[in-house]
Amino acid sequence: MLTELEARTGVRVIVPRGSLLGEEVEALRRRLGEALIAEASHVVVDLRRVRYASGRALGVLVAHLGELRQRGGDLKLLGCRPAVRELFDLCGLGGLFEFLAADTDVAASFGSVPLGAASGEGALR
pLDDT digits over 34-63, tens only? 999 988 899 999 999 999 999 999 999 999
Going through 1-125 in order, the beta strands assigned E by DSSP cover 12-14, 18-20, 42-46, 50-53, 74-78, 99-100
Q: Which residues contact 121 (CB under 8 A, 6 or more apart)?
A: 1, 2, 3
Least confident of 31-45, 61-75, 107-121: 107-121
Confidence of residue 118 (pLDDT cuts 50, 70, 90): very low
The residues with which 7 forms a beta bridge, in sequence order, are: none
- Looking at the predicted structure, is the pLDDT value of residue 119 above 60? no
Mean pLDDT of 28-39: 93
Sign of the dihedral through C-alpha 37, 88, 54, 77 = negative
The pLDDT score that the predictor gives to residue 112 is: 54
pLDDT of residue 114: 43
Q: Which CATH class is domain 4-117?
A: alpha beta
